């Protein structure tokens, strides 16, 4: 039971350490916020569990600095410290006191907990934060980081890094343009190429451009990528030809620029994109998409080559709800790379730490900083840039990385309990996210880097990845660069391209999604599930008589994590299917696919399994019933399994709710569809044989396969909803 003397939200902590004699005096170095250290403890493992360990009462919004034995420092609120960082590692006493551990578990995505890392000190701060402090401090940090201001500059091509006025930019040849990353600058992101020991690499990089090497210095925290690109495009001449090297968030700017060359001469952003932004960003905080659209059309810019390095093309989840920890990671990684230390000098470090403290105190929402909000996986920009069926010109090369090995068990991986860090990542961005963005007409290829020395800020430090960037951007037209082909669209299958062929023989597992769990497209235009297409009447294109409809991939939001998990031990074969049509038709296609995989697996004595969710279980049973020879062949292996998850073997009452307009998904779809009302949507759905085949089987005179039952339901509908009885 908690101590009755504690106020609401307060928490008693038992600290395994020794109080320092006197807390440091109030820190008001920059007068951006008032910071006062109230308590500080030197942590000692020998004191863990001692009854006489110091106990303190803490407020939920106190800011805590955790310093680990490797010198890494992190800032977060006391509430997040208890609820997330220390989750699963603390014990509570009878009076409700939480016993803070003297170490944190070291975590590995592949091996779980692999050891521990000692906490060196804990410091507690009271902070007086003025309104909108995070935004004000961010601007101050940008001012200090961007020594020459935010603008387009020409870069020196000698050993001495320098920026100057861009002068006249040619249009009869490609120019090289650098786009730096979050809370950084051109020198901070790419300064390694100007080092003396990189002379040969630098010459190879710059030689094709005859001195026309440029950089956009831009605000990455207080301005959105759209605002950044508007400022850039205004500086570029009509018809500019671009070769881009972009790091981290800079890759989002490159994706926006690439929209200037859409397939079939489409506008960079169509009416659906513009309306989507207008409806969801009424105050224009995320940038003026209409102005950007106009400028891209006017300037007719072409991105011919684009090397995208460690880019959160599908967002990074750490930026969603753990902004203090996200910036703490960046703070620590910057300190570990010498060229970044040189780029952020003097009081900029103090400003950065104060920014993190202010965010921890305010529990700032990412929207406070439009530059960071753009990297949230659910942001408007990420949604638009990953909209299916929108192919752009230019060659895309992706440099992707995953930290693995000794360095994975570090403070960075330890402190971050976000689900992002249960999978491959470079300590800032989820590796799979680096493969997102628009499809490329001229092809997309990748180079994957994994190891103990790989991290978000080491792509240009490490010789192999730095050299790959140069090879990709500066190669001759017919020269090979050693990158591997991939399709941006294929990411929806749930397994990142770099994991699809690991060179070893594995058991096979088919994954059959549930009802409405497969993306449906017409040609290269995804309709289901594309929120923008559906908002503008896209379901009408999926009328049962529509031609060229095909099942593209399982819906990654529902099945992506399962596919990733299974891929560690199996060859995963996602089997999307057209859930509109008869299951008997799709059963034929499933049987053919299984027969093909059996032919591959049998010589290696590997089983073929099926995991089927919901409607997928009915599809599997339809295959068994119509192709018994295929089922018998699969079952010859003693380890073969069919696993059905929530299969409605007797039908589902969700289907009558759909047909009568009472199912939540139908109601939500009607709310977002600007073109069709609910009655018009139901008129489309009621002709889907796949839905009809899931009607529930009942006893007595209430037969959903009888037209009379539906007439009775229509007659007694006391809510008088607009629906027409299906014709089973």
| Cα gap 331→323, rounded to integer Å | 12
Q: What would the mean pLDDT of 64-82 be, rounded to a whole number?
A: 83
Q: What is the pTM of this model?
A: 0.75
Residue 237 pLDDT exceeds 90 = yes
Distance of CA 13 to the CA centre of its chain: 35
Q: What is the pLDDT of residue 28?
A: 44
CATH 3.30.1330.40 given to domain 135-477 = no
Q: What SS3 class is residue 127?
A: strand
Q: What is the pLDDT of residue 337?
A: 60
Nearest to 336 by CA among 165, 455, 473: 455
For the chain, the structural domain boundaries read: 11-128, 135-477, 493-645, 654-715
Q: What would the mean pLDDT of 136-152 be, rounded to a whole number?
A: 91
Q: What SS3 class is residue 84?
A: helix
Q: What would the mean pLDDT of 597-605 be, rounded to a whole number?
A: 94
**Rounded to 5 degrees, what are φ and ψ at 90?**
-110, 155
Taking only the tens place, the pLDDT of each residue in 338-375 is 555 555 555 565 777 778 887 777 655 666 789 988 99
Helix axes 463-474, 199-206, angle to 10 degrees: 20
- Total residues found in the chain within this entry: 728
Nearest to 188 by CA among 311, 342, 332, 310: 342
For the chain, the straight-line distance linking the first and the last C-alpha, in angstroms and rounded, comes to 60
Q: What is the pLDDT of residue 420?
A: 41
| Cα gap 215→189, rounded to integer Å | 11
Nearest to 583 by CA among 686, 691, 705: 691
Cis peptide before 332 (omega within 30 of 0): no
CB under 8 Å to 301, separation ≥6 — which residues?
233, 236, 239, 240, 242, 257, 260, 261
Which of 124-128, 284-288, 626-630, 660-664 is predicted with the least confidence, judged by mean pLDDT? 284-288
Taking only the tens place, the pLDDT of each residue in 529-569 is 888 788 888 899 999 999 999 998 898 878 988 888 888 88
Taking only the tens place, the pLDDT of each residue in 191-227 is 999 999 999 999 999 999 999 999 999 999 999 999 9
Residue ranges in 433-572 assigned as alpha helix (H): 463-474, 531-535, 556-567
- Confidence tier at 677 by pLDDT (50, 70, 90): confident
DSSP 659: H
| Cα gap 234→219, rounded to integer Å | 16
Q: What is the pLDDT of residue 504?
A: 64
Q: What would the mean pLDDT of 506-513 be, rounded to a whole number?
A: 95
Taking only the tens place, the pLDDT of each residue in 86-141 is 776 667 777 778 888 888 776 555 545 556 778 889 999 888 777 667 888 889 88
Angle made by CA atoms 461, 464, 466, in degrees to the nearest 5: 50
Residue 420 backbone class (left: φ over 0; alpha: ψ -120 to 50; beta: rest): alpha
Q: What SS3 class is residue 469?
A: helix
Residue 229 pLDDT exceeds 90 = yes
Taking only the tens place, the pLDDT of each residue in 7-64 is 567 888 888 888 887 655 544 455 567 778 889 999 986 655 555 778 899 888 888 9
Q: Look at 334 and 237; give whichever has higher pLDDT.
A: 237
- State the chain's mean pLDDT as an integer: 85
Nearest to 369 by CA among 301, 333, 320, 428: 320
| Cα gap 531→279, rounded to integer Å | 13
Both tokens of 267, joined, read: 């506008």
Angle made by CA atoms 615, 620, 625, in degrees to the nearest 5: 120
| Cα gap 188→321, rounded to integer Å | 26
Q: What is the pLDDT of residue 61?
A: 80
**Rounded to 5 degrees, what are φ and ψ at 554?**
-65, 150
Judge contact between 713 and 723, C-beta under 8 A: no
| Cα gap 272→673, rounded to integer Å | 12
């Amino acid at each position: 039971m908690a101590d009755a003397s504690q106020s609401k939200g307060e928490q008693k902590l038992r600290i395994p350490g020794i109080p320092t004699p006197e807390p440091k005096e109030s820190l008001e170095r920059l007068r951006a916020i008032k910071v006062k250290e109230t308590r500080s403890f030197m942590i000692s493992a020998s004191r863990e569990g001692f009854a006489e360990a110091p106990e303190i009462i803490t407020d939920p919004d106190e800011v805590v600095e955790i310093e680990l034995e490797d010198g890494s420092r992190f800032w977060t609120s006391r509430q997040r410290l208890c609820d997330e960082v220390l989750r699963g590692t603390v014990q509570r006493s009878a009076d409700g006191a939480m016993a803070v551990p003297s170490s944190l578990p070291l975590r590995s995505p592949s091996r779980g907990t692999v050891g521990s890392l000692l906490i060196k000190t804990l410091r507690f701060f009271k902070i007086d934060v003025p309104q909108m402090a995070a935004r004000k401090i961010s601007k101050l940090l940008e001012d200090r980081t961007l020594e020459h201001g935010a603008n387009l500059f020409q870069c020196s091509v000698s050993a001495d890094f320098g920026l100057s006025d861009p002068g006249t930019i040619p249009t009869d040849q490609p120019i090289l343009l650098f786009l730096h990353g979050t809370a950084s600058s051109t020198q901070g992101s790419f300064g390694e190429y100007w080092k003396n020991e990189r002379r040969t690499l630098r010459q190879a990089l710059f030689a094709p451009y005859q001195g026309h090497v440029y950089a956009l210095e831009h605000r990455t925290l207080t301005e959105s990528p759209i605002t950044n690109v508007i400022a850039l495009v205004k500086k570029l001449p009509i018809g500019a030809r671009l070769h881009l090297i972009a790091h981290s968030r800079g890759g989002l700017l490159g994706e926006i620029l690439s929209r200037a060359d859409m397939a079939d001469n489409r506008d960079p952003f169509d009416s659906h994109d513009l309306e989507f932004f207008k409806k969801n960003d009424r105050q224009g905080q995320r940038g003026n998409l209409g102005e950007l659209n106009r400028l891209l059309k006017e300037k007719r810019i072409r991105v011919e080559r684009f090397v995208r390095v460690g880019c959160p093309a599908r967002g990074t989840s750490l930026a969603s709800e753990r902004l203090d920890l996200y910036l703490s990671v960046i703070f620590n990684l910057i300190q570990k790379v010498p060229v970044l230390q040189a780029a952020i000098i003097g009081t900029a470090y103090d400003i950065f730490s104060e920014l993190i403290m202010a965010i921890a105190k305010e529990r700032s929402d990412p929207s406070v900083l439009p530059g960071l909000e753009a990297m949230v996986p659910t942001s408007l920009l990420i949604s638009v840039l990953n909209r299916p069926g929108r192919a752009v010109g230019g060659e895309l090369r992706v440099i992707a990385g995953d930290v693995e090995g000794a360095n994975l068990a570090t403070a960075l991986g330890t402190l971050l309990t976000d689900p992002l860090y249960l999978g491959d990542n470079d300590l800032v961005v989820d590796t799979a996210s680096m493969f997102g963005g628009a499809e490329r007409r001229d092809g997309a290829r990748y180079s994957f880097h994994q190891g103990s020395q790989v991290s978000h800020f080491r792509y240009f430090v490490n010789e192999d990845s730095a050299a790959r960037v140069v090879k990709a951007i500066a190669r001759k037209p017919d020269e090979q660069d050693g990158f591997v082909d991939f399709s941006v669209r294929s990411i929806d299958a749930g397994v990142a391209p770099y994991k699809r062929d690991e060179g070893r023989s594995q058991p096979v597992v088919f994954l059959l999604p549930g009802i409405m769990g497969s993306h449906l497209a017409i040609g290269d235009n995804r309709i289901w599930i594309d929120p923008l297409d559906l908002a503008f009447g896209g379901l009408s294109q999926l009328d049962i008589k529509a031609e060229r409809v095909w099942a593209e991939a399982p819906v990654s939001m529902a099945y992506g994590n399962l596919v990733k998990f299974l891929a560690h031990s199996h060859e995963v074969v996602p089997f999307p299917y057209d859930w509109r049509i008869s299951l008997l038709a799709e059963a034929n296609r499933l049987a053919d696919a299984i027969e093909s995989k059996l032919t591959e697996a049998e010589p290696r004595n590997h089983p073929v399994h099926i995991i089927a969710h919901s409607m997928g279980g009915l599809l599997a049973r339809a295959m068994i019933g119509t192709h018994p020879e295929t089922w018998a062949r699969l079952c010859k292996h003693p380890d073969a399994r069919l696993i059905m998850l929530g299969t409605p073997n007797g039908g589902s009452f969700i289907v009558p709710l759909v047909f009568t307009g009472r199912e939540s998904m139908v109601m939500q779809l009607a709310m977002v569809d600007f073109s069709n009302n609910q009655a018009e949507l139901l008129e489309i759905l009621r002709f889907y044989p796949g839905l009809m085949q899931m009607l529930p089987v009942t006893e007595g005179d209430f037969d959903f396969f009888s037209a009379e039952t539906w007439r009775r339901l229509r007659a007694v509908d006391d809510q008088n909803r607009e629906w027409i009885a299906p014709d089973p």
